Chain A
């Protein structure tokens, strides 16, 4: 069971896309796993043959539990540990966190349920069964009992990751104002030659500038693991995407620093569409090396972000607003101005380095044609 998030402890196998004997190659989507946040397509990192499917659809398993055996050419198949359901307990009633949440959503009293999990732990399906029984006993309750809201699990996953971030990461914050007149003028000219389907949004230009800036300040791009910074050789930009039902996903755009502006816009379009339709891939969920969040659409002026662990930085963008601006020769004018912020992990970098990054970001946006 792959880890598909900073604080994912277990996942449910939703479906297999392969069967024993199938040839697979690195990057193939072999399964779909359900997490608290969403169903995620699981990619494989080896090339070989599916030897055996160990887990069955519907199995809820702890992260790290083998779910399949893959025969990699030239290597002996690895012996697989037996699958054990995830034990969960806590409080007076022993129930899994998901079962507790579901019980709350469905109005089911946990104390009236007999758990079928290990050591009598109440599992999700116990709650679902109890809810069904309750509904059939009382016809009126059918209308009242709302189905479990996916957003509840999403909220819990975000809560866990953000609580960990605030607990473990000593954040520092910097912000700067960037005159966007040159960048927006350039983008308007760039878009004028393109049909509406191929136009680029300012958000993509900002992502490009962040990716290029991180090449110059690699200390902000990577992970804090085992008490040390592990910078990433590539910039996998995690893009915070709000979902219409509530909550957010942060899929990564891989190797963003190597993509052209058009490629970056296409990648952004792709991940936003798939995030909102629940079709993200495992590597996109796990491999982001920094997060960018843009709340400008909502009129927010400044974003003070919370770093997504184990990343070490988050870049925030507010709304591009017309503001008075002291331009060349001391003349006061009105310019479209963007507030860019950096939330960074003080264990990995100091404010001086963070300030250099924001300065580089500003410089890059003054020469958008070179991005």
Chain B
């Protein structure tokens, strides 16, 4: 899965819980929960949506690392199988 596809999944999940916001405007380094005013309940729902869509297990101990968009993309990239590079 490409980073762009992961980002799309993240944006879709964020739009579900904060429909009045545009996650695409988020700075990669911004704190997701603060920037979008997401409480712990909605954050859990967001992680559940990522788990359901991407099939990734996210242990509770890792929640604290998933604070920014870039951290989340990096975390999910490591957990998901990379797409084979196409030969030119």
**Are B40 and A297 closer than 8 Å at their CB atoms?**
yes
**Are B41 and A199 closer than 8 Å at their CB atoms?**
no
Cβ contacts under 8 Å, B44 to chain A? 196, 199, 201
Q: What is the CB-to-nearest-CB distance from A270 to chain B, in angstroms, rounded to a whole number?
A: 11
**Are B47 and A196 closer than 8 Å at their CB atoms?**
yes
**Are A188 and B60 closer than 8 Å at their CB atoms?**
yes
Q: A191-B60, A244-B18, A244-B20 are contacts. A196–B51 as well, Cβ < 8 Å? A: yes
Within 8 A of B (CB), among A142-190: 188
Encoded as 1 (CB less than 8 Å from any B CB) or 0, chain A from 237 to 262 comes to: 00000101100000000000000000
The verdict on A31 contacting chain B, using a C-beta distance below 8 Å, is no
Cβ contacts under 8 Å, A297 to chain B? 33, 39-40
Q: In the docked arrangement, what's the CA distance between A242 and B18, Å? A: 13
Encoded as 1 (CB less than 8 Å from any A CB) or 0, chain B from 52 to 73 comes to: 0000011111000000000000
**Are A242 and B39 closer than 8 Å at their CB atoms?**
yes
The verdict on A272 contacting chain B, using a C-beta distance below 8 Å, is yes
Q: In the docked arrangement, what's the CA distance between A199 and B60, Å? A: 9
The verdict on A323 contacting chain B, using a C-beta distance below 8 Å, is no
Q: A188-B60, A244-B18, A244-B20 are contacts. A201–B48 as well, Cβ < 8 Å? A: no
Q: In the docked arrangement, what's the CA distance between A269 and B44, Å? A: 10
Q: A188-B60, A196-B51 are contacts. A201–B20 as well, Cβ < 8 Å? A: no
- Interface residue range, chain B: 10 to 19
**Are B61 and A188 closer than 8 Å at their CB atoms?**
yes
**Are B40 and A203 closer than 8 Å at their CB atoms?**
yes
The verdict on B37 contacting chain A, using a C-beta distance below 8 Å, is yes
Q: A188-B60, A201-B41 are contacts. A245–B20 as well, Cβ < 8 Å? A: yes
Q: A191-B60, A199-B60 are contacts. A268–B47 as well, Cβ < 8 Å? A: no
Q: What is the CB-to-nearest-CB distance from A261 to chain B, in angstroms, rounded to a whole number?
A: 15
Cβ contacts under 8 Å, B41 to chain A? 201, 203, 268-269, 272
Cβ contacts under 8 Å, B51 to chain A? 196-197
- Closest residue of chain A to B33 (Cβ to Cβ) is A297
Encoded as 1 (CB less than 8 Å from any B CB) or 0, chain A from 35 to 59 comes to: 0000000000000000000000000
The verdict on A192 contacting chain B, using a C-beta distance below 8 Å, is yes
Q: In the docked arrangement, what's the CA distance between A296 and B51, Å? A: 25
Q: What is the CB-to-nearest-CB distance from A184 to chain B, in angstroms, rounded to a whole number?
A: 10
Q: A245-B20, A272-B41 are contacts. A197–B48 as well, Cβ < 8 Å? A: yes
Cβ contacts under 8 Å, B37 to chain A? 244
- Closest residue of chain B to A204 (Cβ to Cβ) is B41
Cβ contacts under 8 Å, B59 to chain A? 192
Q: In the docked arrangement, what's the CA distance between A242 and B48, Å? A: 21
Q: What is the CB-to-nearest-CB distance from A136 to chain B, in angstroms, rounded to a whole number?
A: 29
Q: In the docked arrangement, what's the CA distance between A272 and B37, Å? A: 15
Q: What is the CB-to-nearest-CB distance from A331 to chain B, in angstroms, rounded to a whole number?
A: 26
Q: What is the CB-to-nearest-CB distance from B23 to chain A, in angstroms, rounded to a whole number?
A: 14
Cβ contacts under 8 Å, A242 to chain B? 39
The residue from B18, B40, B57 contacting A201, defined by CB atoms under 8 A apart: B40
Q: In the docked arrangement, what's the CA distance between A191 and B47, Å? A: 15
Cβ contacts under 8 Å, A244 to chain B? 18-20, 37
Q: What is the CB-to-nearest-CB distance from A168 to chain B, in angstroms, rounded to a whole number?
A: 31
Q: In the docked arrangement, what's the CA distance between A245 and B18, Å? A: 10
Q: What is the CB-to-nearest-CB distance from B86 to chain A, in angstroms, rounded to a whole number?
A: 33
The residue from A188, A196, A245, A296 contacting B58, defined by CB atoms under 8 A apart: A196
- Closest residue of chain A to B61 (Cβ to Cβ) is A188
Cβ contacts under 8 Å, A272 to chain B? 41
Q: In the docked arrangement, what's the CA distance between A304 and B62, Å? A: 32
6 tightest A-B CB contacts, nearest first? A297-B39, A191-B60, A196-B51, A297-B40, A272-B41, A196-B48
13 contacts between A and B (CB under 8 A): A191-B60, A192-B60, A196-B44, A196-B51, A196-B58, A197-B51, A199-B44, A201-B41, A203-B40, A203-B41, A242-B39, A244-B19, A244-B20
